[in-house]
Structures are given as structure tokens and as C-alpha cells.
Chain A
Amino acid sequence: MASLALRARSAPTARATHEPRAVKAALTLAAVGFIGLFLVVPLAAVFVEALDKGWTAYVAALREPMALSALRLTLLTAAVAVPLNLVFGLAAAWAIAKFDFAGKNVLVSLIDLPFGVSPVISGMVFILLFGRQGLLGPWLEAHDLRIVFAVPGLVLATVFVTFPFVARELIPLMQADGTDEEEAARVLGASGFHMFRRVTLPNIKWGLLYGVILCNARAMGEFGAVSVVSGHIRGQTNTLPLHVEILYNEYNFQAAFAAASLLACLALVTLVAKTAVEWRSARARHPEEPHVD
């Protein structure tokens, strides 16, 4: 190790990837400058604007009934959509990674579909299906069921948009693991449940958690699809991102940014959680030193 470092220092130009110090500095500066300008400054601006009229006004904007209702609805939507996509994603990844069947590639492409289409289109699909003039509209109306412009529509749109996160995260992981350990568990007499619970799940738990975190962040932050199916009924079908838009359109900037700061906080928490999980999963996959579980 020491001799390697020594050689690198004594013959710096011999390495193919070596760049002059000025180039390094310029590239680093450009990257940091870009991140600062486009990520850090806007994020800071959110909090600055939110606290523009002082802490009391900030708290007041968040404790306002419409804001609280939007927050509740956002949490509710995520609380339904994330567990559903956890189960769907797990099932889809399991099927794709561990079995061979006809149409597997089609299924893989279908899982990616929500990533491919614009969220607005995703929202429109539900209007076309469940709206008054939609395919199932008359039937729903006859049974006095409301889906679009109501909470079920918001949940459906969110589930659709966030569907790929868990599955996408798990498929490569489970494919890389193969089926050896599962087969070993079966031969040793484990039932399907035992096999999943004691062999598969521990091997994918960090990837699963990572997918759930991303799924949750998107579920809470989704705007496009939700905006189409919501109908923007204040206190009823307004999620936090929609609430921000309404306030902003009413020139109530301080309140808009106060609500936005909640979403920004969520993003920051997600970022920290994501980094922690990535770090843990890297360690779980390549344990360098002995660790005790």
C-alpha cells in the first residue's frame, strides 16, 4: 500500500486518470456552483420566504384549518398508497426475479409505464375511467359512488404514479441473489412463509426500505396526476402540493412558502433516511469487518 502511494507521487503524469490541479479545481467549482445555484439557493429561498413575516405568521399559516386538512389528506394518501405499493412491488419483483414465464418482459415494461407517461396523463386516465362522462361514470353515479374529485381518486392516482419505486428497487436485487438460498430453505423443509420471512426478506430488507422511502416521498409530493383528479375542493380534496399552488395563485406568498417548507423538510428527511439506508445496505452486502447483529 505504502509503496503504491509512493510510486504514484513520484511519477504523477504516469497515471492515465491524473488531471492538473487547475482542471480539478475548475471542475469541482463548476459542480459546486451549479448545485448551489440550482439546489441550495432555491431551498434556502423557500425557508426565507416562509419566515418572511416572522415565526408567528409561519406557525399561523400552518395551523390554519385548510393547511391542516391538506396535511391530513397528504398523510392519508401516502398511508394508503405506500403499503399498497409495498405489497404490489414485492409481489411483482418476486414473480419477475424468481420465475420464468411468458410475457415477463411485457410485465417489466408495464411496471415502468408510470415513469414513462406524464403524471397529467395518468390523472386524465382516471377521469376518463371514473369521471361523469367516463367509462364507468354512469354506473358509479347510479350507485352514488364518487371516485374522481374525491379521496379515492387521489389515492388511485398516487398509487399509479408511485407504483414502480418498490418493484424497480427490488428486481435487480432479487435477480442478483438468484434462487439458491430459497431452494436451500425449501429442501430443508421450510414452508413458503418461513422461506420468505427468514431467508428472502432479510436479504432484501434494505432495498425494500429504500424503495419505500422513495415511494413515500413521491406519494407526498405528487402534483400533476393528483391535480387532475382532485377538483381542488378546499378542505376536502386538497393535498399539500395543491394547497401550495392555491395559496400562491392567491398571492399569499408567505403562507404558500410556509406550506412548501413542510414539503421541503420532508425532502430533507427523505434524503437523510435514503443515505442512511444506502450506507446500511452497502454494509450488509459487503461486510468488511465482523459485525454483530
Chain B
Amino acid sequence: MSIEVRNVTKSFGSFVAVNDVSLTVPTGELVGLLGPSGSGKTSLLRIIAGLESADRGQVLFEGEDAGRRDVRHRGVGFVFQHYALFRHMSVFENVAFGLRVRPRSRRPADAEIKRKVTDLLKLVQLDWLADRYPSQLSGGQRQRVALARALAVEPRVLLLDEPFGSLDAKVRQELRRWLRRLHDEIRVTSVFVTHDQEEALEVSDRVVVMNHGRVEQVGTPQEVFDHPATPFVMGFLGNVNMFHGRVEAGRAHLGPLSIDYPDHPHEAPRAAQGFARPYELELARAAGGDGFWATLRHVNPAGAVIKLELEDGETHPVQVETTRERYEALRPQAGERLYVRPRQVRIFVAEN
């Protein structure tokens, strides 16, 4: 079941939550909506589900206008951020709910419900907790019950709102790998919302980066990470050093940096921003290539990569990440002046 969002706009009072968004999710894909809070990702998800109605635009499931169907009949599974489990029902009854409320003609027999719910609880590895109540479960367990409950109605589309948002770091990691494997198994078209770039990059087939109610970029995790379309995407996906400046006559002058920029051969200067990720900066004791001098302020030697904080001549902080081997070879001291040379700088020239 493919999902198509066409020019959807939604405002709450004067706040435009979703601004003319169009988006296609092909059948069987797992798509991550990524953005900071207030970027409109949850509103968009709720509009797809039918929990919220769009002011303008359309949502199509397999080419059919879903807006004409009430949320009850849309055939979506929705997993809420805070689980929204029915707290007075056992885990079993929670999962069975969607089957039990069907009209009599389509309601499965009790034995069939029991078999189905047990299968689903096995799928989420919680069959041993069937008789417990939600308040007796851990956060991760609740989230898996919520997922089983959503899957029980055999949804055409699975929507997850910050599915791991309220879990601690370790459980989060486990659960998202598990979700990825589960999706590979059941292959239902899925959209999930997250503000965690690592989560989006790890779990999704494709990532939709949103900001201020608009889509900034759509692509595979590798595409959006390696080829960010906008400064926002660059800054949102991982740590980055930013250099403000201008481009003119084939060169870019960005803070302490001055490098070739043949894309703008004109004399007239234009404002520009340069970005380099911390691991794209190299340190040396001697000058060489297009770089700048900076003073080492702090080293964080714990972890697989060594994180260094430097300051350029105008006391702007510069973050550098290097391998343990290179760090050992250089052995820089705090307060020492080092030459910083970027291997790669992405330059975004401002629109006029």
C-alpha cells in the first residue's frame, strides 16, 4: 500500500505546522520523518492517519483519496509516543481490542482471536506477559505491546509517532534494531517520526528531513548524510563546523578559511556558508594546503574517536575528530597552536 501526500497544509491558529508538503512512500518501505520539535512531522503523521484533518491537500492510499474515509476505516496502525495502552485491560485484551470491536459480521471467533493475539505477542516476544496489565510492564515492553496492538488489525499502513522517544538509550538501540528486523519480516508500508538523526539514519529505508513545516530533503540515509541539500540538513544530521563568509571571483572566503570555489566565477560577492564535519578536519604542526591556525583547548580522549576542541584566531570553536592512531602520532598538548586543514568543505551560497 503506497502513501501519497499531495500539497498538504495544516495550521493551528496562526502557526503553520505543515506547509504545502508533498511526499510519496512506496509500498513496503520504512520511511523516517526526521526533524526538530515543531517541524510538523507529528502533525503530518497524524494527518496521514486521519487523526487530524488537513486544511488543504490530499492523502492518497494506493491512489485512492483516504480523506473520504473516517479514521476508523482507513486501515492504519498507529503507535503512540506514550503508548496509549488501555490501562484497565490486560496485554492480551489490548492486542485483541481491534478485533473485538469489529462489527459482528467481520469479527473473528474467540478461538481465532486467541490464536492471532498469541501469534502477535510471540512476534513481539511478549507472549509470556499476556495476562499482565500495562502498568506492570517496562517502557520497552509497553511499546512492543502497542506495536502488536496496531498490527492486530492487519493495517495497510503502519504509523509510529516517536516510537522510542520515551525510552532510555540502551533500550532504544535494541528496540530500533528489532523494529528494523521486524519490518524486513512483515514489509508493511511504515512511516515513523523521530527527532533523533541517528535513529532515522539507522532504521529507515528513506529519510524525510523536515523543518518549519516543510520538507528539506528526501533520500536514503546515505544520500541525506553525504549530500545534504540544505544548510539545515547539514547541521541537523550530526555535528558540524560552520564557517560564515562570502564567495567571489572563484574563491570562497569563509571565516579563517579561503578556498577555491569555481562554481562562482563572478566578481559580485554573495553570502555563503561552509560546512565541514569534525572528522573531515585534519590537524598538523606545519602549514600546508588551504587551512588555518587554531589553538587546542580541550581533548576528550575517551571513546573510539578522539574529540578535540580548538579555537580559531577569532575564538570561534572548532571541533575535530580523529582516530586514536593519528592522535597518538601527533600527541598535541592543550594550548598548542595547530594547523587545521579541511579534507572537504560543503559550501551553500545564499539565494539572492
Task: Check if B208 is an interface residue, CB within 8 A of chain A.
Answer: no
**Contact A189–B86 (Cβ < 8 Å):** no
Task: Check if A252 is an interface residue, CB within 8 A of chain B.
Answer: no
A-B contacts, CB under 8 A, total: 69
**Contact A188–B87 (Cβ < 8 Å):** no
Q: Kindly list chain B residues whose C-beta atoms are within 8 Å of the C-beta of A184.
A: 78, 80, 84-86, 149
Bound-state CA distance A203–B135 (Å) is: 14
Segment with Cβ contacts to A, from B97-105, B195-203, B259-267: B97-105
Q: Kindly list chain B residues whose C-beta atoms are within 8 Å of the C-beta of A203.
A: 87-88
Task: Check if A287 is an interface residue, CB within 8 A of chain B.
Answer: yes
Please, which residue of chain B has its CB at the minimum distance from the CB of A201?
Answer: B88
**Contact A180–B87 (Cβ < 8 Å):** no
| CB 8 Å contact bits of B88-101 with A (1 = contact, 0 = none) | 10000000011001
**Contact B49–A187 (Cβ < 8 Å):** yes
**Contact B51–A187 (Cβ < 8 Å):** yes
**Contact A185–B97 (Cβ < 8 Å):** yes
Q: Kindly list chain B residues whose C-beta atoms are within 8 Å of the C-beta of A199.
A: 86
**Contact A186–B86 (Cβ < 8 Å):** no
Q: With A188-B98, A189-B73 known to touch, is A284 a contact of B88 (CB < 8 Å)?
A: yes
Please, which residue of chain B has its CB at the minimum distance from the CB of A183?
Answer: B51
Task: Check if A51 is an interface residue, CB within 8 A of chain B.
Answer: no
Please, which residue of chain A has its CB at the minimum distance from the CB of B87?
Answer: A203
**Contact B149–A188 (Cβ < 8 Å):** yes
**Contact B72–A189 (Cβ < 8 Å):** yes
**Contact B135–A287 (Cβ < 8 Å):** yes
Task: Check if A125 is an interface residue, CB within 8 A of chain B.
Answer: no
Please, which residue of chain A has its CB at the minimum distance from the CB of B135?
Answer: A287
Bound-state CA distance A293–B86 (Å) is: 14
Task: Check if B327 is an interface residue, CB within 8 A of chain A.
Answer: no
Question: Chain B's nearest CB lies how many Å from the CB of A184?
Answer: 4
Segment with Cβ contacts to B, from A71-79, A133-141, A190-198: A190-198
**Contact B82–A189 (Cβ < 8 Å):** no
Question: Chain B's nearest CB lies how many Å from the CB of A100?
Answer: 10
Please, which residue of chain B has its CB at the minimum distance from the CB of A186?
Answer: B71
Question: Chain B's nearest CB lies how many Å from the CB of A74?
Answer: 35
Bound-state CA distance A135–B101 (Å) is: 50
Q: With A185-B97, A186-B72, A189-B98 known to touch, is A202 a contact of B88 (CB < 8 Å)?
A: yes
Please, which residue of chain A has its CB at the minimum distance from the CB of B78?
Answer: A187
**Contact A191–B84 (Cβ < 8 Å):** no
Q: Kindly list chain B residues whose C-beta atoms are within 8 Å of the C-beta of A180.
A: 80, 82, 84
**Contact A189–B88 (Cβ < 8 Å):** no
**Contact A293–B149 (Cβ < 8 Å):** no
| CB 8 Å contact bits of A273-293 with B (1 = contact, 0 = none) | 000000000001001001101
Task: Check if B153 is an interface residue, CB within 8 A of chain A.
Answer: yes
A187: contacting residue among B71, B82, B102, B132, CB under 8 A: B71
Q: Kindly list chain B residues whose C-beta atoms are within 8 Å of the C-beta of A185.
A: 86, 97, 101
A–B Cβ pairs within 8 angstroms, 5 of them: A181-B85, A181-B86, A185-B97, A191-B101, A287-B133
